[in-house]
Structure formats: structure tokens, C-alpha cells
Amino acid sequence: MYQGLSDKLFGTPGAWNLKRCPGPECGLIWLDPMPTREDIGKAYRTYYTHHSGASAGGRKIDWPSIALTKISKPLYKLFMRVIGLRRFEKRWQERSGRMFLEDPPPGHRLLDVGCGGGDLLARMRRSGWYVEGVDVDAAALDQARLKHGLRVYLGSLEDLRFPEDSFDAITMNHVIEHVHEPVPMIRECFRLLRPGGRLVLVTPNSNSMGHREFGSCWRGLEPPRHLHLFTMRTLAECATRAGFLSVDTWTLPTNSEGMLLESFDIRERTTGIRKWEYLKWAATSSLKFREYLLTKNNKEGGEEVVLVASKEIGTPRPTTSLSPGTARV
């Protein structure tokens, strides 16, 4: 699909290719070559959880753009409110901020896989969840403990081996795209969920309007840290292979502005051609508006894809695994 990509975000050395399954029922995208499990940590040495990320590189402040944007933003919000999309936007922002989970009955347990500094866990704890987290980043877990006083564990989900039927909900926000073998991880989530429990995943949508607009400069690609990229169909297929019978997917535009603006920055670093900041904001707002129209009408196009899978009562645990040579997912 793409050849010779470089890491424009955090400067990991190397050239990276992305391949896509040509099957009309699939479309999975994966990194090839893919860093091994032993070497993948090198791709995170300058990651945003450790550093501030890519800087503006000493750019001059674009005062005309700042002034025009300050004038235009309230007008844009007024336009969204008049046509009824502002209420839709706020509702989706609220739901996505809670990972599409309602307030739980007392004592219900939630596990956040890839919890980072624990901001989501702290928010869910205020909603009544008994929360725990898992991450492979020791520095991020230190922050979760010190800032929020959270119960968090260092290591991969599979290696920690929590007891079966331990949790009522498991969340993974922008984690599954970093995983070498997505189906075994989702299968482990199935094992850990109690009957009636829910798994909620959020990941970049490779069928988004942003990907169609920016191509190899789309923020969601992020080589070499994003190992697999999903559509609604491929993410649902992963959950089904992992044992879930009740699966729902849709796309989200709520974080599109940040992803689209970063895609503009990646394009600038790739081509060396800078664009006036106000024009980037205007183009981003136009794309964002079209994404909201698509998702409001239940069509695919948002920058993120969401999966909610329920472990139905009486569902048998999957016992089969993929054999070598089958599709990576």
C-alpha cells in the first residue's frame, strides 16, 4: 500500500512499508517489516508518554492565522448549533469520554488495558467503577499511582494472567493497533470478562475520510508503532474469532480535529511545503463537518472505529487458535 515511510512524529529511524489485504471482505492493513517483540520498545524511546513529541521547530507565530481562527471558531460552532450537529457532537464527546459505558452497579470492576497515566481510570472511578489498569510503560504507571492513587500493573495482559471472569468491563483506547497478535489479546479479554461483561475498543479507522484525504501522511498510520490498522469489518471479525457473539461497531468523528491537523503537519514535513495555519484549520473544520454528517447517518467515515462486544451469558469459551499461515488477525 505504502513504501518507505518514515516516523515523522517521534523520529524512530528506519523505513517502513504498509500492506493491505486485497480481499473485498477484509482490507486489513499491517506493517511489513514489523518490529519484533524484542525490539518494539525502541520505537517508543521518544514517544509522547516520555517526551513532549514533535515540536514546532522554532516556527514564527502566525498572528494573522491566530486572529482569523479566533473569529471563525465561534461562527463555526454557531453554524453547527443551528443545523443541529453541535448537540450531536456534545453527546458523542460525552459518551466517548466514558468509553460508552454507563454508571455501574456497586462493586463492578473495570480493567483498562494500556492505561498510561490513568486519566481514564480516574474518570471512570468517579462514575462508580472499581478500577484497575495494565500497561507496559513503567514511567506512565508511576504517574498513575502518584497522580491518581490507582491500582495498576506492569506487563502485558496475557503475561499477567488475571483469574477467569474477573471484570465486568475491559477498555482499550488506541491500544489494539500496537499489538502484534490482536485476536489472542481479545480472546484473553473474553476469558477475563464475567458473563454479561463488555469489551470496548477504540482504534484509528483506516476507512476514514482523513486517510482518504492524506494517504501516506495520515496521522493514524504512525509507523512503526501501529502494527495493524482496522476497519469496522476487520475489527468485528477479530472479536468474533476471539469468541464474542454480540458485536457492534461504528465510527467516531469526536477526535478528528487533532488527527487531521497532525496529518497536515506530517504532510508538511514530508513535502517541505508549509500551508497557512488558518487554511489548515478551515480545511480541517470542513472535513470534520463532513465526518459528523456521515456518522450521524450511520455511515463509515470517522477518524476512529469503536467496537463494543458483550460476553453473553452461557457463551462457550473459544478453544481453537489460528494456525500458522492464516491471516494475521
The count of C-alpha atoms lying within 13 angstroms of the C-alpha of 81, restricted to the half-sphere facing its C-beta, is 6
Model-level pTM?
Answer: 0.87
Q: Which CATH number is associated with domain 62-310? A: 3.40.50.150
Q: What is the pLDDT of residues 75-87, one digit of tens each?
A: 888 888 888 888 8
Q: How far apart are CA 260 and CA 213, in angstroms?
A: 9
Residue ranges covered by each domain of the chain: 62-310
Mean per-residue pLDDT, 220-248: 96
Q: Which residues contact 118 (CB under 8 A, 6 or more apart)?
A: 112, 133, 143, 144, 145, 147, 148, 150, 152
pLDDT band at 60 (very low <50, low <70, confident <90, very high): low
Cβ-in-10-Å burial (0-12, 13-18, 19+) of 298 comes to exposed
Residue 249 pairs in a beta bridge with 307
Please report the pLDDT score of residue 134 as a whole number. 97
pLDDT in tens, 256-272: 889 999 999 999 999 98
Question: Between the CA atoms of 252, 254, 255 and 261, what dihedral angle is there, to the nearest 10 degrees?
Answer: 110
Q: If we measure between CA atoms, which residue out of 166, 59, 60 comes closest to residue 107?
A: 166
Cβ count within 10 A of residue 328: 16
Confidence bin at 68 (pLDDT 50/70/90): confident
